[in-house]
Amino acid sequence: MRPLSLPLALTARLLPVAVLASAGWALSSGPLASASDSDSDHSSAQRSPDSEDTAGKKGGNSSSSAPPAAKAYEAAPAPCGSIAVKTVKSLVPGAKTAGKEIPSTDEGVRRTCSWNALKGFDYRWLDVSFEIADSVSAARKTYEQRTAEKSGGGAVPGLGDAAYSVVNLTTDKKQQTREGVVLARVSNALVVVTYNGSDFESKKAPDTDEINKGAIKAAKEAVRALGKG
């Protein structure tokens, strides 16, 4: 079983940050803040049942005696085609709609696409990642570990077998950045969306609702693309 680690794409994120910093701006788009820094008012995550959960419950049998659910996905789909052009234009104004795929050590397991742009003084960044686990149970375990690490968020009903979103605010040298993360599981696949933004004129960040809704919108499109793939 191949463990799935966090999809960071750190090198790609540092490049635009360095460019902005050289122009006199500061952007913080690092790891999510702790629960005390979170400005999300979501409830705790709730996991939706799927075939592997329910298979062992029929007829009173325990899940340990039931055969494991068959995984639905063998490889990660192309991520840059997962988000509609009009959605990219809406969430990341001024970005190249084709996106840029981040190099991966194993494209069959993980693929990530990024869009980012500075329009005027408004900066936006969007990441969409697909990760494929060896089994449904492995994907579920990774999902549960990550949602536990990102406390302060809540469930996203009707998205995949289980989905969770969280929004956090960070401040670096008086510059605010608000970042939303949506994690969705569909069978043995994980969809991870990261969406953040900053205003370098006002030093303020976009509203929580704007970032959260944008991240969820992108996640819904990515999950649909996963099904088509």
Question: 96-141, pLDDT tens digit by residue?
Answer: 999 999 998 788 899 999 999 999 999 999 999 999 999 999 999 9
At residue 7, the pLDDT reads 40
Query: Residues in the chain with pLDDT < 70?
Result: 1-68, 228-229
Cβ neighbours around 93 below 10 Å, total: 13
At residue 12, the pLDDT reads 43
Token pair 């995949």: residue? 160
Q: Tokens for 84, please give them.
A: 């509609």
How much is the pTM?
0.73
At residue 81, the pLDDT reads 95
Burial of 74 (0-12, 13-18, 19+ CB in 10 A): exposed
Task: List, edge to edge, every strand of the sheet that includes 162-172.
Answer: 100-102, 110-119, 122-132, 189-199, 175-186, 162-172, 154-155
At residue 104, the pLDDT reads 86
At residue 68, the pLDDT reads 66
Cβ neighbours around 106 below 10 Å, total: 11
- 189 within 8 A of 226, measured Cβ to Cβ: yes
- 182 within 8 A of 164, measured Cβ to Cβ: yes
